[in-house]
Structure formats: C-alpha cells, structure tokens
Amino acid sequence: MQIFDVFLLEAVINGILLGGILALLALGLNLIFGVIDVVWICYAELIMIGMYSVYYAHNVYHWPLALAFLGCILLVAALGALLHVLVIRPVLGAEPINQLLVTGGVLFFLQAVATLAFGPGLFDSPWLSGIAAVLVAGLMVSRLPTYSFKRIKVPQHFVLPTLLVVGALAAFLVSSPWLTLLGVSALYVASLPLSWLAYRRLSHNTPVAMAHPAELAEDSEIDEPDELMPH
C-alpha cells in the first residue's frame, strides 16, 4: 500500500493555487459590482481568454513566461475596453437588467467559442448537459427557498483556512470531478428541507412583529430576511 501519493499532493497544490485564483476573481467581481456598480457577468470569460492566451503563447509559440503574462494583460485590458465601449457604455443609464442581458449575451458567445475550440470538457454527453440545464433552470424559476450566503463575512484570521478549504475542494474537483459534484449536490439537496422550514419560521414571525408597531422604535424598520430568499 502506497502511503504517499504524489498525484494527490499535486492535486492539492493545484487546488490551493486554483483557490487563490478564485479569490482574485471574487475580488474583481466585488470591485465591479460594489464599487463601479456595473452588472458585468462575463468577467470570468475574459479571465479564461487571458489564461488560454498565456498557455498558447508560452507552450505553443514559446514566448518567455514574463512576456506571455505581459501580452495576456494587454490583451485582456484591450478586450475589456472594447467591450465597455461597444456593450456597456450604451446601457450605463439603463436598468440593471439591460446590463445583465447584454453581458449575458457576451458570456454565452465566448463560452460557445471556447466550447467549439476546446470541447465541452466534463459535459461531453448532451443528455447530461440537458439534465443539468433543466435542473438549474428549474431552481432559478421556482419559489423554493434556499440558503443565501450574501451576508457571510470571513474574519481575517479565517481567510487562510477558508482558502485552504476552497483549494481542497478544487483539488477533489480536479482529481475526482463526478464524485465531488455528486457529494456537493447531495449536500445541497439535503439542505432544501432545512431551508424551507427556516423560511416558514421566519415568514410566520415577521407578521407577528409587524402587528405590534408601537413596541418598535420610531426609526426602526423590519427588513425581509436576506438569508432565505425564494428563487
């Protein structure tokens, strides 16, 4: 029995690195949505173009790695500026749903180009892709309450352990994708009854509080619970 598995160690290291990349992506999304206040959902696709550009420039065209990184940064910056001028600027003053739709169109276009160029990856089977799309679409349009993690704030001393956990999950996803997806899906399905019960409890408690407004402070207000919102 082999105690030390070098492939598992490599997967763990790659997962930790991937977790760091995901943290950078989350920081960029936070700046876009929170600071710039633009609904830009094709952000990850530009990162995908940059990663593929570095790979091909370094491994296929044998550019030095530093030059490949520099070229990737310039390429993604130019694409971002071009998309801003052609796509985002005309809808800056419009409703956020318009920004969502136009950037969603760019997202699907870039994903389709990448799928044609490199293949579908895990979702080689059209039946599997169709089932996954139907399930996700059903959850999106259903009124089933699910847990939301919008208000979860990671304390500073928990940032590194959180990144390690994300890296471990990414490592399992790389080494055993179907088993990992099955486990995550099972946990998600198991949380649905708990989220439904919690949402019912909150919905019953809110009218009780609203029935006695005199007991509340004049400047207080009752907010809808963000932790559990139906899709």
**What pLDDT shows up at residue 215?**
44
Residue 109, SS3 per DSSP: helix
* Kind plus residue range of the DSSP H or E element containing 152: none
Residue 162 neighbours by CB distance under 10 Å: 13
Distances (CA, A) of 210 to 49, 198, 206, 225: 51, 19, 6, 14
| pLDDT above 60: residue 211 | no
In angstroms, the CA 31 to CA 38 distance is 9
Q: How distant, in Å, are the alpha carbons of 11, 37, 100, 226 from that of 103?
A: 33, 14, 5, 26
User: How far is Cα 123 from Cα 132, in angstroms, rounded to an integer?
Assistant: 9
- 3-class secondary structure, 146: strand
pTM exceeding the 0.75 threshold for the entire prediction: no
pLDDT digits (tens, 9 = 90+) for 42-92: 888 888 899 889 999 999 999 999 999 999 999 999 998 998 888 888 888
- Helices 43-55 and 65-83 pack at an angle, to 10 degrees, of 150
Q: What is the dihedral of CA 166, 170, 175, 176, to 10 degrees?
A: 90
pLDDT at 70: 94
* Helix segments in 154-225, DSSP class H: 159-175, 177-210
Phi, psi dihedral angles at 230 (to 5 degrees): -75, 145
- pLDDT value at 38 more than 50: yes
In terms of Cα–Cα distance, which of 223, 220, 227 is closest to 198? Answer: 227
Which stretch of 8-17, 78-87, 108-117, 144-153 has the lowest confidence by average pLDDT? 144-153
The phi, psi pair for 140, rounded to 5°, reads -70, -35
Distance of CA 191 to the CA centre of its chain: 19
> CA 89, CA 94: separation in Å to the nearest integer?
10
Q: What integer pLDDT is reported at residue 32 of this predicted model?
A: 79
Sign, CA dihedral 69-73-79-83, equals: positive
Between the CA of residue 166 and those of 4, 156, 206, what are the distances in Å?
22, 16, 35
Q: What is the pLDDT, as a whole number, of residue 115?
A: 80
- Is the distance from CB of 33 to CB of 51 less than 8 angstroms? no
